[in-house]
Amino acid sequence: MSEMGGTPGWRQAPGWMKLLLIVSLSVNVAIGGLIGGNAIRQWQHGIASGKWQNEPGLDRRQTRILRMVPDARREEARTILLARQDEVAAARETMRAAQQALVEAIRQDPLDPDRLAAALAERRAASGRMWGIGYEQMAEIVLRLDAAERAELAKRLEERTRRWMERQERKGR
């Protein structure tokens, strides 16, 4: 008996119970180590590859374009992307304003269908301007590449599209 209240202590427990406790704790520590180690490795890999960071001076969309361009042509592509930053910033601000106008039109009580339609049309136009800049920049970059570089870019674009489609399928879309 232990000294506290007459209940059996660790020394009084059967050997199989002690062994079971030690094995259980060991398995828990091992699983925690595997999960923690994997999380740290993923985090370090993401930071090291710049996966979670935009290229300096570029937004997320432009960073994606730049990372698909063959390494030998990235500086030239960066120059093309940076050349229209004022236009991109203005288009982004127009998108924000159009989005806010859409939110306000949706919240309006009673709902004004004409105002909603106008807000949706402006949002669509703003989105088109933003995408149009990206398409024009992509075309300008592609026109400067030789056949081998275009093939490499096409391969990367195809791979990116495949991964995107897989993510959509996993999400059930």
Give the number of domains in the chain.
2
In a domain, 158, yes or no: yes
What does the mean pLDDT of the chain come to? 86
Q: What confidence score (pLDDT) does residue 126 get?
A: 93
The distance of Cα 4 from the centroid of its chain, to the nearest Å, equals 57
Q: What confidence score (pLDDT) does residue 104 get?
A: 95
Q: Greatest CA span in the chain, whole angstroms?
A: 87
| Same domain assignment for residues 83 and 21 | no
| Same domain assignment for residues 36 and 96 | no
Q: What confidence score (pLDDT) does residue 106 get?
A: 94
Q: pLDDT under 70 in the chain at which residues?
A: 1-8, 44-52, 173
| Same domain assignment for residues 66 and 44 | no
Q: Which domain holds residue 33?
A: 10-49
In a domain, 5, yes or no: no
Q: What confidence score (pLDDT) does residue 145 get?
A: 92
The distance of Cα 96 from the centroid of its chain, to the nearest Å, equals 20
Q: What confidence score (pLDDT) does residue 51 get?
A: 55
| Same domain assignment for residues 81 and 105 | yes
Rounded to two decimals, the pTM is: 0.60
Close Cβ partners of 68 (under 8 Å, ≥ 6 residues apart): 153, 156, 157, 160
